[in-house]
Structure 1
């Protein structure tokens, strides 16, 4: 990210900005994220899903028929969050950005290998999609989120760091 700022207004005096490489480590190790999108009528939609951090983008997949995919067709802005459900420890990360469909087979092969390594979920790559080897049904389309802003919330001391592109 191009700019890093500790948000003093929401940080304790002893808080410091979390270095970007530590934020990347959180994104790389997190297994589950919450994806927030907006329906065509403006109502929010939130769903948990695994995501993969690779080369400065967060990737996730879903069925083309699912609500989140239909929402993205109408509005390419989304938020992915990950972190802890504790008040006094841990790091929470909010990634705001624009999402786009990924259909390049070389990228999909790389992502499928990472999904297998990270959460033991095996995909094979079809023609621009993932095919789930554990179930029969619709192929999964893959999306990549390019972050425009990342907010990081640290606890003990409490701090908020803003990274912008």
Structure 2
């Protein structure tokens, strides 16, 4: 999401506060060490799980094993919410990304993402690129997904603000 439409929701913001700049919100997405993914099970119940995600080229990316609950859920319903931020009440910025999760299978994009995972966590997350997915050193496969945001919300704390970003 480049240069999104930015709107402050005054109902949930301190008087006189300005909307959070997109660059600050994007920085939270780029630097987050942990993100929470919410998917929907086939029977309508929510499923929430923490994971590591990478912001690259305007989308938030995550991966999962093909048999994991989140992968099963995405087969039936690709719509997700990803959240990250600070668990304190009076400081920081919490960010929510909403949109459909789409499989990433392009070799070049997978290679860029594998490098992004290695770089972001100083080598702790090592993926190789296999046939339309990541692989790891113990023979596992990880499906890779991209979420192009349909909406992003940023919740400023301390000085409270509620900023909404939508694609142009």
- Does TM, normalized by the shorter one, top 0.5? yes
Q: Which residue of 1 aligns with 2:6?
A: 4
Q: How far does the alpha carbon of each residue in 1:21-70 deviate from its partner, in whole angstroms, 9 at most, with x for none?
A: 11111111111100000000000000000000011100000001000001
Equivalent of 2:35 in 21, 33, 36 = 33
Q: CA deviation at 1:137?
A: 4.2
In the alignment, the residues of structure 1 paired with residue 155 and residue 85 of structure 2 have an alpha-carbon distance, to the nearest angstrom, of 9
Q: Which residue of 2 aligns with 1:43?
A: 45
In the alignment, the residues of structure 2 paired with residue 94 and residue 22 of structure 1 have an alpha-carbon distance, to the nearest angstrom, of 13
- Give unmatched runs, 5+ long, in structure 2: none
Equivalent of 1:125 in 119, 125, 129 = 129
Given that residues 14 and 157 in structure 1 are in contact (C-alpha distance below 8 angstroms), is that contact kept between their aligned partners in structure 2? no
In the alignment, the residues of structure 2 paired with residue 2 and residue 129 of structure 1 have an alpha-carbon distance, to the nearest angstrom, of 30
Q: Which residue of 2 aligns with 1:62?
A: 64
In the alignment, the residues of structure 2 paired with residue 19 and residue 39 of structure 1 have an alpha-carbon distance, to the nearest angstrom, of 34
Tell me the TM-score normalized by structure 2: 0.94
In the alignment, the residues of structure 1 paired with residue 50 and residue 18 of structure 2 have an alpha-carbon distance, to the nearest angstrom, of 30
Tell me the TM-score normalized by structure 1: 0.96
Please identify which structure carries the higher strand content: 1
- Give unmatched runs, 5+ long, in structure 1: none
Given that residues 65 and 141 in structure 2 are in contact (C-alpha distance below 8 angstroms), is that contact kept between their aligned partners in structure 1? yes
- Report the number of matched residues: 163
Given that residues 133 and 143 in structure 2 are in contact (C-alpha distance below 8 angstroms), is that contact kept between their aligned partners in structure 1? yes
Q: Report 1:6-21 matches (<5 A).
A: 6-21=8-23
**Structure 1 segments (4+ residues) deviating >2 Å:** none
RMSD: 1.0
